[in-house]
Amino acid sequence: MRFSQLALSAMAALALLAATPTRAADDTDDTFNPDEVTHAASDFFGIATEATAKAVQRAFKDLGQPDAYIKGDEGGGAVVVGLRYGAGWLIRKHQEPVKVYWKGPSVGFDLGGNASKFFALVYNLKRENRLYQRFPSVEGSYYFVAGIGVNYMRSGGVTVAPMRTGVGLRAGVNAGYLVFSEERDWFPF
């Protein structure tokens, strides 16, 4: 009789566990997997998934899964000294999108102008206000009708990995920084 009571108790416990609602793995994880990012970037850029996947795979191999991404538009130009301005949306799981702006100067062997779609993976963000700082960068770019590039910027424990595809006529190598903010500001420094 003891065995049957033990078996009934075990079956009741299993039935209770089976009936208890659980959250899906996606609901508890605050990071984005490669498929989510590849599809979001491909849809945003309007280019083939395969082309975007190569850039995404590189970032995931180097940095892992991001906890946010930014998608927006950016414009810039340079004659040795350059300026860049952009606006977009900070996307985080389980949170409403937040409008963000960025700007920054650069200096280097850089000439021309471009308009870009900007998609950036953000790592170790934790809190939204950690994005609002200056991120130094060194990059090379070559836009002639279209192109895609990725670079990494780090500051204060946060890493931003922008991917850009755009149109224009611009070529060069430069050093500068991007400053992210909650409000648009046209002063580049």
- pLDDT score, position 48: 66
Domain membership flag for residue 79: yes
Residue 156 placed within a domain: yes
The residue that leads in pLDDT, 54 or 153, is 153
Residue 16 lies in a domain: no
Give the structural domain span for 110.
30-181
CB atoms within 10 A of CB 171: 17
Q: What is the pLDDT of residue 111?
A: 80
Tell me, yes or no, whether 20 lies in a domain.
Answer: no
- pLDDT at position 12, please? 43
Residue 61 in any domain: the answer is: yes
β-bridge pairing 98-123 and 158-181? antiparallel
Q: Measured between alpha carbons, how far is 169 from 142 in angstroms, rounded to an integer?
A: 8
Which tens digit of pLDDT belongs to each residue from 38-91? 899 888 888 766 767 888 888 899 999 999 999 999 998 888 888 999 999 999
Is residue 103 within 8 Å of 28, Cβ to Cβ?
no
Q: What is the largest CA-CA distance in the chain?
A: 90
Question: Residue 72 sits in a domain of what CATH number?
Answer: 2.40.128.480
Per the structure, the count of domains in the chain is: 1
Q: Is 13 within the bounds of a domain?
A: no
Buried-state track 27-64, b at ≥16 Cβ within 10 A, e below 16:
eeeeebeeebbbebbbebbeeeeeebbebbeebbeeee
Is residue 25 included in any domain, yes or no?
no
